């Protein structure tokens, strides 16, 4: 149903962990929204990248309808090194290797 509401959005991953992504951008919606949040403007982002303004606006429209889903993905992917180490103590990062 979401793909019909948002033409240009598709989903990838297992059913339980599927992620919305913007077709043609190669980015998940959360990734694109995070880049927009860190950019000076939407127009400048479109000018500086291969992204079309339509793709950017589509990701933002999706986030507007499903803000908790997108914010959760952003938060999960912006954890500090300490948080990652606590969650996955068996994984060695370049800073912890040696």
Domains and CATH numbers, the chain: 2-87 (1.10.10)
User: What does the pLDDT read at residue 93?
Assistant: 63
CA 96 to chain centre: 27
Summarised one tens digit per residue, pLDDT across range 40-91 is: 888 889 988 889 999 999 999 999 999 999 999 999 888 787 887 888 888 7
Please state the pTM of the whole predicted model: 0.78
Q: Kindly give the interhelix angle for 53-65 and 67-76, rounded to the nearest 10 degrees.
A: 110
């Amino acid at each position: 149903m979401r793909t019909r509401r948002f033409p240009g959005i598709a989903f990838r991953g297992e059913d339980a962990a599927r992620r919305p992504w913007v077709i043609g951008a190669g980015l998940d919606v959360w990734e694109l929204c995070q880049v927009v949040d860190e950019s000076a403007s939407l127009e400048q982002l479109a000018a500086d990248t291969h992204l079309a303004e339509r793709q950017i606006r589509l990701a933002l429209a999706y986030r507007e309808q499903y803000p908790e889903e997108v914010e959760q993905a952003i938060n999960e992917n912006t954890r500090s090194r300490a948080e990652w180490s606590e969650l996955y103590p068996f994984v060695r990062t370049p800073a912890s290797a040696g």
